[in-house]
Amino acid sequence: MRPGRGLGQNFLLDGNLLDFIARASGLEEGDEVLEVGPGFGALTEKLLIHGGNVTAVEYDHRLAAFLRKKFAGQPLKIVEADACRVDYRELFGVRPFKAIANLPYAISTVFIARILDGAVQPRTMFFMLQKEMGERLAATPGSKAYGALSVRCQLMYDVSISRIVPPEVFYPAPEVESALVKFVRHDRFDLNDGIGKSVSGVVKLAFSQRRKQLGKVLSHGSYGAENVSAAFAQLGLPLEIRPDRIDVEQFYQLGKLLKKESQL
């Protein structure tokens, strides 16, 4: 079998790095683990050795068949599906789980957005991603990498880059550096009762025109100029501020206020 370029398959070969991923992910005996894009099962094997009960989502039917044979009798469930379309609440129910994967780069943005918008989220995630993608997710206000996905992710997770990884540890070697990125779930923001949807809507609209003044962008949306002005005044923010200068806490408060004002 050859890696499918259209599927973004780059298989991780380095045994020491695979051991590091299993350890640094915080995997403990008996943990429920979601792995996306297991490939030939190099990381899967390490996750099983460290005591994980692994559910692996694999799109390539050739690899799914290979994995079923290779790991027969072990605590591994193979789900042959598109990871961006799977209902993870249906898959895990109320059981807490962790997500650990060498994510196929072609789906990483869509998959992470799907996780954030889903009915359930992993307690922790530990992903191999393109370095640029990792920097986006962990970015802070004022940086070029800071954007809508940075904010949406950090509303739910503390995000940090654990290690930069060179292309040589993959087959085939990608043309870019990679990064191991750790996500730890937090509960600093109450995203229930439509608040999460409201905040996400504000963030997406804000960064759709990131070079423009945020007050104008939001006023031209569905919130109304008066509501936007009142919310900015309450938070002590100038209407002229650009979205990449607003931190996660401020976006959260802005989303709450605009949701409240829109209901009056």
Round to whole Å and give the CA distance between 240 and 146. Answer: 18
User: What distances in angstroms separate CA 99 from CA 96, 225, 260, one per listed residue?
Assistant: 10, 41, 34
pLDDT mean across residues, the chain: 93
Q: What is the pTM of this model?
A: 0.92
Give pLDDT, residue 264. Answer: 47
Residue that is written with structure tokens 């692996």 in the block? 56
Inform me whether the pLDDT recorded for 8 exceeds 60.
no
> Is there a contact between 254 and 202 (Cβ–Cβ < 8 Å)?
yes
Q: Which residue in 154, 223, 146 sits closest to 189, CA to CA?
A: 154
Output the pLDDT for position 13. Answer: 83
Under DSSP, is residue 136 helix (H, G, I), strand (E, B) or coil? helix
Mean per-residue pLDDT for 6-10? 60
Q: Tens digits of per-residue pLDDT, 159-190?
A: 999 999 999 999 888 889 999 999 999 999 99
Beta strand pairing status for 76-80 and 53-58? parallel
pLDDT tens figures, 108-163? 999 999 999 999 999 999 999 999 999 999 999 999 999 999 999 999 999 999 99
Confidence band (pLDDT; 50, 70, 90) for 221?
confident
